[in-house]
Amino acid sequence: MRLTQGTFSFLPDLTDDQISAQIEYCLEQGWAMSIEHTDDPHPRNTYWEMYGNPMFDLHDASGVMMELKAAREKFPRQYIKLNAFDSTRGVESLRLSFIVHRPDHEPGFELVRHEAEGRHIRYTIRAYATERPEGERYG
């Protein structure tokens, strides 16, 4: 099951040229790019691992693409996303965030039914990938 989180996630995967063009747009707006990765696809997992420091004062997308390439080589079986941070006073948060790399096989989520007090049933989801410990998922 294809993970749909962040911008562009309902579109086909972006090509490197398209990613580069998106980065170029972000840099033009004066936003700082950063790279994050994770192997826990749960939608409530908002805090992904940082890959390197956020990249401030860049002028050209090739610097980000260089880091992205290195990140893909290091974590070929994880999700990798690009974030664009707007430091304008009063905003100071992410403007754009999109997945740029995903594992070859995404097993998706299980619906878990929890029988609660009385005849209540509580529902939750659990990623099949998280059956294994961190770092060994999507193996």
Euclidean distance between CA atoms 107 and 85, whole angstroms: 31
Q: Of the two residues 61 and 96, which places its CB atom closer to another protein in the complex? A: 61
Q: Least distance in Å: CB of 100 to another protein?
A: 17
Q: By CB under 8 A, tell whether 58 contacts another protein.
A: yes
Q: By CB under 8 A, tell whether 36 contacts another protein.
A: no
Q: Of the two residues 85 and 109, which places its CB atom closer to another protein in the complex? A: 85
Q: By CB under 8 A, tell whether 67 contacts another protein.
A: yes
Q: By CB under 8 A, tell whether 104 contacts another protein.
A: no
Q: Least distance in Å: CB of 56 to another protein?
A: 8
Using CB under 8 A as the criterion, which residues of the chain lie in contact with another protein when the complex forms? Answer: 52-53, 55, 57-64, 66-67
